[in-house]
Amino acid sequence: MPPLVTHMIAAVRAGGQVDADGVSFGEQNGDYLLGATTPDIRVLTRWDRERTHFFDIYDDGHQDCVENFFSTHQAFRDPSDLSAETIAWVAGYLTHVIMDQEYVLQIYRPFFGSRSVLGGSSHANLLDRVLQYELDRRERESDEQMQQIRQALVASAIEIDAGFVDRPLLERWRDTTAAMTEHPPDWDRFSFIASRHLKSAGIESESGLRDFMETIPELLDDSLSHVDQSILDGFFESTAERTASVLRDWLGAD
């Protein structure tokens, strides 16, 4: 699914469409940005994906990640019971699970999944990972924005009541997330991020990884030949609109 910087930038764009009393959903709000990354805290905890994302990527039936989230964590359902910091964190959390669900429905399954032309093969999954990394890499190109996001994250987590994520774990995740904004917009970390998919494709040796990295431009062109920019633009736009609508409904905003 989309990497963390992609999630934070998407959250900022969706949040710009939402007005809320006393809470701004922008890149200056570290609690909101932290929420937009928290579903991936399972990187630290090794929890099952469904425990934090409320959506089973292997289930083709109808699912509603937002309702599943609130059904599981009912203390978050009424924002009037929450502090401004916790409201921001929950709102960010919702942006993440919505985006991941929409990515599966709009991008992964149609273009890379088992029913796509690529058939869900190890090569298809590798192309999907290359595409995700490139989208994230593009968002990293603004040093100024990355610095602003990092500063906001570092100032977050103190007053958030995250319920199922205790404060020491949340603060550890905050520091992990902030460190990720320091990574330059290059491909140096791709072999680490996509290690599972590379192993599935039989790429494990140091020389094999070096040879593979030389094929990245070709693989990216291949990915974009299946999912062109207009499709990606449509995905980001529709996801932002759906996310903003969900947040307005939850907050009771006009």
DSSP per-residue string spanning 77-107? S-GGGS-HHHHHHHHHHHHHHHHHHHHIIII
Residue 225 lies in a domain: no
Residue 70 lies in a domain: yes
Distant-in-sequence, close-in-space partners of 166: CB < 8 Å, separation ≥ 6: none
CA dist 14 and 95 (Å) reads 8
CA dist 196 and 58 (Å) reads 18
Nearest by Cα to 227 from 138, 46, 103: 103
Nearest by Cα to 3 from 106, 135, 116: 135
Per-residue pLDDT of the chain (254 residues; tens, 9 = 90+): 899 999 999 999 999 999 777 788 999 999 999 999 999 999 999 999 999 999 999 999 999 999 999 999 999 999 999 999 999 999 999 999 999 999 999 999 999 999 999 999 999 999 999 999 999 999 999 999 999 999 999 999 999 999 999 999 999 999 999 999 999 999 999 988 888 778 877 887 888 888 889 999 999 999 999 999 999 999 999 999 999 999 999 998 54
Are the C-beta atoms of residues 14 and 248 closer than 8 Å to each other? no
Residue 55 lies in a domain: yes
CA dist 212 and 209 (Å) reads 5
pLDDT for residue 254: 43
pLDDT for residue 195: 82
Count structural domains, the chain. Answer: 1
Residue 215 lies in a domain: no
Instruction: State the residue range of the domain holding 155.
Output: 4-119+143-185+231-251
133: number of Cβ within 10 Å: 21
